[in-house]
Chain A
Amino acid sequence: MASRPEGVVTATGVSRVFGGTTVLDGVHLRIEKGEVVALLGESGSGKSTLLRILAGLDEEATGEFTTSGSKAVVFQEHRLLPWKRVAENVALGVRGGDAPARTATALEEVGLADRGRAWPSELSGGQSQRVAFARALVREPDLLLLDEPFGALDALTRLKMQALFGRLRARHGFAALLVTHDVEEALLLSDRLLVLDRGRIAEEIEVDLGHPRSVDVPGFNALRRRLLALLHVPADPEE
């Protein structure tokens, strides 16, 4: 490559020890501008820990890491403040006089333009998670940190949300780190896959399947099998 674009995330040798247990053991990670990277791994492999470090929520991590530009986080749970209406939740911490307009736009983008006055308790799980996405989008992030954002949703809602994510990404061009344990989701949404195993990046796979993609594009299943093997899951029932 002639000119390397500036990375949104640059992390070198990131480690994290919890009371004698090494969860992250010198992780190297680079995410380019506009790139969606999926982070896979068995449970306990340190995926969420890495995401929390990058989100600035873990002060005890060691190693070097920088994120450039604005960032926003979407968690597995929507984490909306129950005492604020939907629009107030989205606008939380947004400064500037155009905050109401930006909030309205963000809600419209996730298909909830008319729910701004609702309380979070009035929303379904899928709607709440969309509000959480609106709360992230309104910050115009260069980097989205997604911690299993669709993991708590039912299967049908999850498919819709994945499609929504694809549309939002095409429009905004943000980079994202998507922590997930759903192999198909990772293959559908990401440009690059990282497999975390025992605190280290064990494998890196470029996903050159084109956008938008579906599970029946050629090459999808081969990648899926390869990933499942890396995650120590038998891809066929007989195995």
Chain B
Amino acid sequence: MRFRPRRLITPIALVAGWEGAAQAGVLSPDKLPPPSQVAEAAWRLTLDGSLGLHLLESVERAALGLLIGGLLGLILGALAGLFRNGDDLVDPPVQAARMLPHLGLVPLLIIWVGIGESLKVSLVALGAFFPIYLNTYAGIRDIDERLVEAARTCGLTQLERLRHVVLPGAMPSLFLGLRLAFAAGWLSLVVGEQVNGQSGLGFMMMEARDFSQTEIVVLGLIVYAALGLLSDLALRTAERRTLSWRRGLKAS
């Protein structure tokens, strides 16, 4: 998709309207401070290093959770997708567990792992696990059996078929799973960070609420949104590069 400057008009107008309304006194600064004040807070917290520190803490939790949940999802999804035994043993419990709203597990998780770091990472891992599992499974299952057969007649061993047919064939679905996992991961992080904590964006927002620093609460929200946006952008770029064959007609 090509960038069109016209698409900037409404966002800019909205921010300008927000600023105008705040300056005119229509919006109470305690309820919703103007963007300029949020930007000021961002600048201040960047300079004293606390924003960077909280951000890093949150990104670390997200990365660790995504890594654990994603790997588990990938491994179990591949087991269930590739092997009949794996399917019979792994898929039923996962399908059942999928119906549990994982964010509703917070009280149980607190009992199990406490309110510390493990809670946040577990929550992100849980959020990331299901989309990766489901899309790995579906990606493998949806591969055209006829292509696998053709590869067999070309003399490819089982391992080679995995590499040349199954893996690239499941790739589009894997990327979809990854994007959903990132979205679920960020959401889980936001929820997890509202529970206790001494650092992270969530902690920063909770603390600011206690001191009625609404601009920092808004800033936290914006940073969360930016993180989600950036990770999605990075994934899309990686996807476009990896799946260039899908745009066959444009590629060469």
Contact = CB atoms under 8 A, between A and B. Distances in A.
Contact of A73 (B150, B243, B251): B150
- A interface: dominant SS: loop
Interface stretch (B5-13, B65-73, B154-162, B198-206): B154-162
Interface stretch (B31-39, B95-103, B164-172, B183-191): B164-172
A57 interface: yes
Contacts of A84: 164, 168, 245
A75 B146 contact: yes
B166 to A, nearest CB: 11
Interface in A70-126: 72-73, 75, 77, 79-85, 92-93, 117-122
A118 B150 CA distance: 20
Interface in A110-166: 117-122, 135, 139
Given A77-B146, A93-B151, A121 B248 contact: yes
B153 A73 contact: yes
Interface residues of B, number: 23
B249 interface: yes
A97 B112 CA distance: 58
A105 B251 CA distance: 25
Contacts of B153: 55-57, 72-73
A79 B252 contact: no
Contact of B245 (A55, A75, A119, A135): A119
Contacts of A118: 248, 252
Nearest to B171: A83
Contacts of A82: 245-246, 248
B151 A122 contact: no
A183 B180 CA distance: 53
Contact of B150 (A79, A117, A119): A79
A92 B153 CA distance: 10
Nearest to B149: A57
Given A75-B146, A92-B156, A122 B164 contact: no
Interface residues of A, number: 24
B147 interface: yes
Contacts of A55: 153
Nearest to A78: B150
A93 B153 CA distance: 9
A122 B252 CA distance: 9
Contacts of A77: 146
B152 interface: yes
A125 B171 CA distance: 25
Contacts of A75: 146, 150
A51 B169 CA distance: 26
B162 to A, nearest CB: 13
Contacts of B146: 75, 77, 79
A93 B245 contact: no
B105 to A, nearest CB: 38
B169 A83 contact: yes
Contacts of B147: 79, 81
A83 B153 CA distance: 18
A121 B164 contact: no
Contacts of B249: 121-122
Interface in B210-248: 243, 245-246, 248
B168 A81 contact: yes
A85 B252 CA distance: 11
- The 8 lowest CB-CB distance pairs between A and B, nearest first, are A121-B248, A119-B248, A79-B150, A93-B154, A73-B153, A83-B168, A93-B155, A83-B245
9 contacts: A56-B152, A57-B152, A75-B146, A81-B164, A92-B164, A93-B151, A93-B156, A121-B249, A139-B155
Given A83-B245, A93-B151, A119-B251, 7 more contacts: A56-B153, A57-B152, A72-B154, A82-B248, A119-B245, A120-B248, A139-B155
